[in-house]
Structure 1
Amino acid sequence: MQQPTRRQALAGAAGVAAGLGFAQAAAASPPDTPAALRRAGELTRGMSLEEKVGQLFVLEVYGQAADTVHAGNRSLYGVDTPAEVLEKYRPGGVIYFDARRGPDNVRAPRQIARLSNGLQRASRLPLIISVDQEGGSVVYRLTDPATLMPGNMALAASGAARDSHDSARVIGTELAAVGINQNYAPVADVNINPENPVIGVRSFGSDPGLCAELVASAVRGYHRGRVASAAKHFPGHGDTDTDSHTGLPEITHTREELDRIDLPPFRAAVRRGVDTIMTAHIVVPALDPSGVPATMSHPIVTGLLREELGFEGLIVTDALDMRGASGEFPPDVAPVRALQAGCDQLVLAPQTDVAYAAVLDAVRSGELSEERIDASVRRVLLHKLRRGLFLRPYVDEDRAERVAGRRRHRAVARAVTDRTVTLVRNADGLLPLDPGTARSVLVTGWGVTTTATLADAIEDHPGQTTQVLQTGSRPSAARIEEAVAAARAADLVVVSCNAAAAWGEGGVAQAALVEAVRATGTPVVAVAVRNPYDIRRFPAVPAYLATYSYGAPSLDAVARALYGELNPGGRLPVSVPTLDDPEATLYPFGHGLSY
C-alpha cells in the first residue's frame, strides 16, 4: 500500500476544520510543553460547541470498513456507514469490538489497519481508537494471528515485573501496528474477593504492593509499544460480589482500607505516567456517602483522582450502557452527571442522539458550564497531541500484517506463559508423569475448544492416547455418569474447570464431576483454566494446576508440565480460602510447588 505523505496525513486529520487553524496546530511541539498546552487551547477555542461535545464521546461503529453499510449503524445512529457516524457526531474516539458484541470490527491485521486508516480519513480531527485487549482469555478482542499474551493474574504468578512489561509491550506493538492507539488496560483492581464475578484473573492478584508494581511495569510496557495505557476501574473494583455490567456493586472499605488496598496501583500508575484512567460504576460510601456510582461522583473523580492523586490525563467512564450506570441514570442524565463529576470522555453512552443532545442542552442551560466542557476538550486534544496523532494518524497496512503474531512476539508469549503455570497440589507425587509410559487419558470438563486443545497437546507426547468428553460449565448427572464410565477405562483423568468456586449451581456440578471421577480410583488432575480458587470445592483432588487462562499457549504449557518438560514455577498471587470458612486459608498467597 502507498502510504499518505506527511502533508496528506495532516490534511486528512484536520479535515474541513483546517480553516479553523487545526492544520497549523497539528504540527505539535513535544507534549507537556507550554507550546503543546497552548496549541490544545487554540484548537479548543476554534471549535463550535457541537464539535466540542463530540470530542467527549467514544462510540462503537459497526463493520469492518469505514465506508461499508451495516445495519447496526442504522439501528444505533440512523446512518449507514462508520464514516457517516463520524460525520454526524464528530466523536473524539471510537472503540473496536469483535463479533461477540456485534460491531465485528476486528477480523485480520490488514483489515483492522485499513478500517483504522479509513476512520482517520473520515474524521475531522484524529481519533482516539481504543480497544479492550487485556491479555488472557477473558477480556480481549483481537485473536489469532495476534499474539495471545497471558492475563494479569498469570503474569503475577510468574512474579516478574519484566514479564508484565514485556507482555504489555507486545500487545501495544501489535495494537499500534493496526492503528489502535489506546488500550483500555491494565486492570488496576486488587482482587481480594474470591467471589468477584467480573474481575478475578483480570487483576494482578490480592497483594496491593505486587499489583502496584505490575501495573506500573505494564504502563511502561504499553508506552514502549507506542500505545496509550489506561488504568481501570477507579477507585477499585476488586472487592465486589456484583458485576457492574448487571448491577451496581458497593465497596464497603473504610478510607484507610482504600488507601491500603485499592488505591496503591492507581497511585503507581499516575506516577508512571499513565495516559488514561477509567472510572468504575461502583458505590463507595467512604468516599461519597451520597450513594452515586463513582463515575458520577465529584468527590471521587475530581476530589480524589484529579486533586488528591494529581492525575492530569484523560478520565474516561466505563461503558455507560452497563447496568451499574444505566440502571441508575437514564440516557439523558448519565452523561451530564459523569461530566459534572469530572470525567472527560463518555464511553458507549446509550441512545447517542439523546445523550449528545442532553450534553448540548446542559451547556446551553448553564447546568454544565462551557468552561467545564473546554477543560475536558483540552485534555482530549492534548492526549492526541501527546500521542502524535495529528502528525501520524495513519498506519502501514502491509506492516500491520507483518507485525501481528510475529515470531519473536510468540517466543515472548511462550516464555512468559511457561513461567505462569502454578502447581497447587500434587498428592503422592502424581506429577510429573513418566513420559515413557503408554497410557490412555480422559480429558473432560469445561469447554469444547479447551478440552480438545488440551487433548491435542497431551497426544503430542508419544504413547499418549486421549478421549475427550466435554461436560460444560454445569455438567448434568447423565454427563457425569458418562465421564465416570470413561474414567474407569482410562489410566488418567484430566478435568478442565472454569470458575467452579464462583458459579453457584454450575460450580457445584463441576465439583461433582471431579469427585465422581476421583471416586473411580483413576488418578485425577484438575486444571483451573480461569480463577485459581476452584480447588476450594474439591480440596482432595490428587493434583491441581492453575493456568489462569484457557488460551492455547497456557494449555500447551500445562500439558508439558504434566510430563515434566516444564517445571511449574508459578506462585499463587492470591490466597485461596476454604469453602466453609472464607477466613480460613486453604493455600496462602505465594504458594506453589515445583518438581
Structure 2
Amino acid sequence: MNRKTFRKATFIFFLVLGSGLITSALLKSPTHKPAKKRQTSVVTDEDQWVNSEMAKLSMQERIAQSFMVACWSNKGKEHLAETEELVRTQKIGGLIFFQGERDNLQEAIQQMQASAKIPLLIGMDAEWGVAMRLSGEPRFPYQQTIGAANDLNLTERIGYQMGVECDMLGIHMNFSPVADVNLNPQNPVIGFRAFGSDPKQVAKQTAAMVKGIEDAGVISCVKHFPGHGDTDKDSHKELPTVSHSVNEFETKDFLPFKSAIDAGTRSVMVAHLNVPSLDPSGTPSSLSKVVIETYLRKKLGFKGLVISDALNMKAVSEKYGKSEVVAKAYLAGCDILLFPENVPDAIKLISSKVESGELSKEDVNEHCRRVLRAKYHAIIHKPMVKRKDPAPERKLIIDQIYEKALVCVKNEQDNLPIDRLDKQIIRIAVGTHTAAFRDRLNDYAKVTHYKYFTPEEAIRRLKEIKLDPNATYMVDFHSDGQRARNNYGFGNWKQVLELLPENASTTVVLFGNPLTLQKESEFPKSVKSILCSYENTAPAQERTAQAIMGAFDVNGKLAMEINDKWKLGFGIDLKNNGRLKYSSPEELGLNPEKLKEIDEIVAKAIEAKVFPGCQIVVAIDGKMVIQKSYGTTIYENGDSITNNHIYDLASITKIASSTTALMRLKTLNKFDEKMDLNHLVPEYVKGTPYADLKAIDLLTHQAGLTPWIAFYKRTMENGELNPTIYSTTDKGVYNRAVADNIFIKDDYWKTMLKIIVETPLTGKKSYEYSDLSYYFFNKYIELTSGMGQNEFVDKEIYQPLGLQTMTYLPLKKFNKKRIVPTEFDKEFRKQLIHGYVHDPGAAMMGGVAGHAGLFSNATDLAALMQFLLNKGQIGDQSIIKKEIVDQFTSCQFCPGNRRGIGFDKPTVSIKNGPTCDLVSPSTFGHSGFTGTITWADPENKVNFVFLSNRVYPDADNWKITKMSVRTEIQRVIYEALFEARQK
C-alpha cells in the first residue's frame, strides 16, 4: 500500500467512526444536560481544518460543496454507481437519502463516503423518524400528535431519540422539525406534519424538538421558512401563495423559526412560496435574496445553514429549468442546494456567474465555509461516547405522547370512563390494523367484537344483526391516512352510527386525523362520548383502551381548531376510576437492571425445583410495572407459563372471596363483625360452645379453634374412599365433584360442620391460625345472599371489576390446559389434582368453600387488590365503603395479634414475619398453601402478587419458604422503589 492509499484508508476509517455508524450520543433522559459550549481552542481547530480544506478546493469544487443530491439506497447498483460518480467527479458536498432499508442504507453511505474527497454531509427527511424513508422501521408519532400531547419535556426527549436514531445510521442532518403553523385546515402538504395552529405553542414545541435533535449531535433543520401553514396548494405541484401581511408573518409564521434559532438550530429550509408582502417581485421565497437575507438573516438573526427546499419540485422547477433554478437559489443565499437534478450543468452555470461577476468569489467562499463548518461539528470533531439501549426510553416516550394527546370532545352523562363492567360490552371495529385496541380491551373486560374493513361493509352486515339495546357500545374507526382525501381516510364513517339502538350508550373512537369532524356537530342519540386518538398505531390503540377503562386521567386539548364547536384548546377531562394501568418500570423511574434481580431469584428457584413455574405482577401507584410468567406448568414436558394461566389461590380465597364478600355485605348492612355465630348461622352452632364465638375473633384467628381437621380421613376405609359417601359417577345425590371421577354426596358438608362443632375449642384466646371458621362464613354468605358464595362474589365483586379468570370451579369455564396442576395426591384422591381445588376440605365442599377453592391469574388478583387499595371504589361508585376497607385491613389486636379482619398483616416489628422488612405497617394481604402470596401496601402504594404451584408434585416441598423466594422478590421491588424515590 503506497502512502497516498494509506492516508485515504486511514481517513475513511476515522470518517466512519465519527459519522455515527459505530458511535453515537448518549440517550437523553429527563435529566439530560446539553453539552457545554466549545472552548476557544476548539474554534481555532475548526478554523484550521476549514481553511486547510478550502485551500485544496477549486472554485467549482467549492460551489459543489453546496450540492446535496438525492439518493435511494433501494434503487439498485446502477443508480448508486451514478450517484457515486457525482461524488467522485463533481465533488458534491452531500446526499439526501430517500427510500431504502437499514442495511442497504448503511452500505450505500459507506460506499459514497469512501469516494468523497471531503466527508459527505448526509441528510434525510425523518420527521417521524427514519421510518419516514426506511421500510421495516418503527416510527415516532406525527408532529400533530406531539403538539396535541403538549409536553415540552416529551417533545425534547423524542427529538433526542430521533437524533440518536439518525446518528446510529450515519445521518448527520434531519430535515425536521416542521415549524409551520397549521393555519389552514385545507392545507394539502402540511396538516398532520405541523405541531398545531397556535403560533406560540408551535414555537415552544419547535424549540423543544430542535434542542433534542441537536443535543444528540445531529443537525436539525426547521422548515419551511417563511411559513407554509396558510396555503391550500401543494408546492410539489404548483407555487402556493401566502397572502399574509408582514405583520402577520412576524406575529404568526416567524415565531417558531425565531424560537428554533434561539434554541440552537443549525439549519433552516426555505420554502417555494409566493409571498407578496415580503417580496413583491413574485420571486419564490426559496430563490429570493430579500426573503433570505432581509428576513431570515437580518430580521431573525440566523447565522447557520440556509437550505433550499427540494429544487425538483414543480413550484419552481417547471418555470426556471433544472439548472437555472439551482443557480437562482444559490445566488439568493442558499448554502445547501437540495435535490438538484442536473448537477454538472448547474455547477457550470454557477461558475459562469462567478466569472461574469454576477456572483462574487466571497459569496462562494462564505457558502462553502458554512458547509465545511457544519461538517466539522457533525463529522470531524464529533465526540465518541457510549450509547445505551434506546428501546425502553423510546417506548416510554411514545406511549406517553399518545396518552397525553388523547382528547375527549364529547362525554354526556359521564359515559367515560366505563366504571362497572358487569354489563354486556359490544365493540364494532371499522378499518384495518385494529388488533391492539381489541387485545387491551380484552385485558380489562369480556367484550363481544365485530370487525369490518369499511363503513360500507359495516352498514351492510350490521343490518343482519340484532343489537342489544341494553348493551354498552364502542365503535372504533381506524384510518391509516392523514390527508383530507376520502374524509381523512375514514370514508362515510358516521352512517354506521345510525344503525345502533337509539337508547344504547355508545363511545365513538377515531384513530386518525380528528379533522374528519370538521363538518360534524350532531350525532345520533346513542352517541354519548367521542374520543380522538390522532393516529392508528398499536401504542395509540393500547393507550386509548386503557383510558376508556379508566386506567389514567385524560386531559388532552385540541392543538388546532376543528370547527366552531370544537375550537383550539377544547377538551373534556376524564378522571381515572382506579383501574390498574399497564405500564413499565421506566414510567416510575425504576431501574430495569435492578428489577432483573427478580428474574435471577426465580431462575434459581426453578433450577432448585422450588416450583415448576410462577407468575408475578407488581403495580406501584396503580401502574403495573411487572407482569411476567416463568417456567412451566409441571417439570416434565410442561407447557410454558403465560400470563393467562390460572392458579389455585388456596388460602388467598379467605380474603379474595370470603372477607371481600363480608365487607360487601357489611356495606349493604347485612353483616356486623361483632355478631356471634349464633346470630350468623344458628342452625349449625346452637347449643354448642361455638355459638358464642364472635365473627371478629374468628376472622382474626383468636377464637380458640383447632387449626385444621383432616375431614377426608373420616371418609376412607382401609385407604380407600367409602362408597356410601363417594361415587365414581355424577348421579343422584352424588353430584359434587371432588376430582376426576370422584363425586361426594351433596349434603356431606353438613357432616363436616357437625364434626367442627364437636371438636373442642382450645380454650386459647391468643392468635392461632385456623381454616375452620370459614366453613361457617361460607354458609352465612349463602344464607344471607340467597345464592352460592361463588355466585355472590362473581355478581357483586368480580363482574363489576371485569375479573375474567377469578373464579371457583374453573373447569366449568376454562380449558384444562390453561389451569396449572397442583399436587399428585397419593393419599386421598390418588391422582394429579388438575382443575380441582387442592385443599381436601374445600374439595369435599364441592369446590366452593370459604377458606379455599378460588382460582385466578396474577393479573386479576392484582386488580382485586388494587380495588382494595382504592378503598373499594370504582370511580364514583362504592362497592365497599371506604371506612369498611380501612377497618378490615387494619390490625385489630396489636401487638399480641398482628391480624386484620380476615387479612394477614406484617409482624409488629416487621421482621421475621410473612413480608420483607421494607413494607409499611399498613400493608395487608394473605398467602396460600399452594405457593401463592399477595400484599398491598397503602403507604408505599405497592401491589405485589406471586402465584406458583410449589406443591407440585409433592406438598411436602417447602423450599419456597426455606429459600425465602417470595420475600426476597418483595425486597427487590422495594429497594428499586426507594432507589427511584431518592433520585
TM-score normalised per structure 2? 0.51
Contact persistence 1:484–1:517 (CA under 8 A): no
How has the CA–CA distance of structure 1 residues 501 and 275 changed in structure 2, closer, same or farther, with 3 Å as cutoff?
closer
Q: Please name the residue that 1:23 is paired with.
A: none
Q: How far does the alpha carbon of each residue in 1:300-336 deviate from its partner, in whole angstroms, 9 at most, with x for none?
A: 0111111221111001111112222223321021101
Q: Report the alpha carbon displacement of residue 547 of structure 1 after superposing the two structures with TM.
A: 2.5
Q: 1:46 to 1:257 in 2, by over 3 A?
A: same
C-alpha change, 1:233 and 1:526, in structure 2 (3 Å) is farther
Alpha-carbon distance, 1:233 to partner: 0.6
With over 3 angstroms needed to count, the CA separation of the structure-2 counterparts of 1:290 and 1:483, relative to structure 1, is farther
Matches within 5 A, 1:218-233: 218-233=209-224
Q: Deviations over 1:258-284 (max 9, x none)?
A: 111100111111111111001111111
**How many angstroms does 1:483 deviate by?**
5.8
| Deviation of the 1:163 alpha carbon | 1.2
Amino acid at match of 1:418: E
Match of 1:134 in 2: 127
* Residue 390 (str. 1) matches residue 380 (str. 2): yes
1:469 is matched by which residue type in structure 2? Y
Residues 510 and 363 (structure 1 numbering): CA distance in 2 closer, same or farther, change over 3 Å? same
Q: Give the CA deviation at 1:206.
A: 1.4
Aligned to 1:119, the other structure's residue is in SS state: helix
Residue pair 2:202, 2:256 contacting (<8 A) in 1 also: yes
Structure number, greater radius of gyration: 2
Alpha-carbon shift at residue 237 of structure 1 (Å)? 0.8
Deviations 1:354-383 (A, max 9, x none): 434433343344443332222111100011
Alignment map for 1:183-222 (pairs within 5 Å): 183-222=174-213
Moved more, 265-274 or 87-96: 87-96
Alpha-carbon distance in 1 for matches of 2:489, 2:121 = 44
Unaligned residue ranges in structure 1 (runs of 5+) = 16-27, 74-78, 99-103, 579-584
**1:161-200 residue pairs with structure 2 within 5 A?**
161-200=152-191
Question: Which amino acid is 2:450 matched to?
Answer: Q
Could you tell me which residue of structure 2 aligns to residue 44 of structure 1?
54
| Per-residue deviation, 1:339 | 0.8
Matches within 5 A, 1:31-180: 33=43, 35-37=45-47, 39-63=49-73, 69-73=76-80, 79-80=81-82, 82-98=83-99, 104=100, 106-107=101-102, 112-135=105-128, 140-142=132-134, 146=138, 148-180=139-171
TM-score scaled by length of structure 1: 0.81
The number of residues matched between the two structures is 538
Alpha-carbon distance between aligned partners in 1 of 2:308 and 2:41, rounded to the nearest angstrom: 24
Which of 463, 472, 477 lines up with 1:485 in the alignment?
463
Larger mean CA deviation between 430-439 and 296-305 belongs to 430-439
Contact 2:192/2:482, CA 8 A, preserved across alignment: no
1:494-513 equivalence runs, <5 A: 494-497=476-479, 502-503=484-485, 506-507=486-487, 510=490, 512-513=492-493
Deviation at residue 410 of structure 1 after TM alignment:
1.6
1:510–1:390: structure 2 CA closer, same or farther, 3 Å change rule? closer
Partner residue of 1:540 out of 519, 522, 536:
522
AA in 2 matched with 1:239:
D
Given that 2:478 and 2:512 are in contact with CA atoms closer than 8 Å, whether structure 1 keeps it comes out as no
Counterpart in 2 of 1:19? none
1:558-577 aligned at under 5 Å gives the runs: 558-577=544-563
Contact kept? 2:437, 2:541, Cα under 8 Å: yes
In the TM superposition, what are the counterparts of 1:264-343 in structure 2 within 5 Å?
A: 264-343=255-334
Query: Which amino acid is 2:484 matched to?
Result: A
- Report what 2:430 is aligned to: 444
Q: Is 2:479–2:488's contact at 8 Å kept on the other side of the alignment? A: no
Give the % identical residues.
27
- Given that 2:467 and 2:500 are in contact with CA atoms closer than 8 Å, whether structure 1 keeps it comes out as no
Residue identity matched to 2:61: E
- Higher RCO (C-alpha under 8 Å, 6+ residues apart): 1
Deviation sequence 1:216-249 (CA, Å, 0-9, x none) = 1111111222211111110111111112122211
Q: State the alpha-carbon separation in 2 of the partners of residues 71 and 331 from structure 1.
A: 22
Query: Residue in 2 aligned with 1:421?
Result: 406
Look up the SS of the partner of 1:60 in the other structure. strand
8 Å CA contact 1:30–1:386 kept in 2: the answer is: no
Distance (whole Å) between structure 1 residues aligned to residue 65 and residue 332 of structure 2? 17
The letter of the residue matching 1:107 is R
- Residue 85 of structure 1 deviates from its aligned partner by 4.0
Distance (Å, rounded) in 1 between the aligned partners of 2:360 and 2:461: 65
RMSD over aligned Cα atoms: 3.3
What CA distance in whole angstroms lies between the structure 2 residues aligned with 1:374 and 1:226?
Answer: 25
Q: Hey, what's the Cα distance between the residues in 1 that align with 2:489 and 2:392? A: 41
Which has the higher mean CA deviation after the structures are superposed, 177-186 or 551-560? 551-560
Compared CA separation, residues 93 and 136, structure 1 to 2 (3 A): closer
2:73–2:98 contact (8 Å) kept in structure 1:
no
CA deviation digits over 1:156-200, x for unaligned, max 9? 222221111111011111211221111111111111211112112
| Contact kept? 1:204, 1:214, Cα under 8 Å | yes
- Deviation, 1:424, is 1.8
Deviation track 1:38-83 (CA, whole Å, cap 9, x = no partner) reads: 542442233013322221111122326xxx953444xxxxx45x54
* Counterpart residue identity of residue 573, structure 1: A
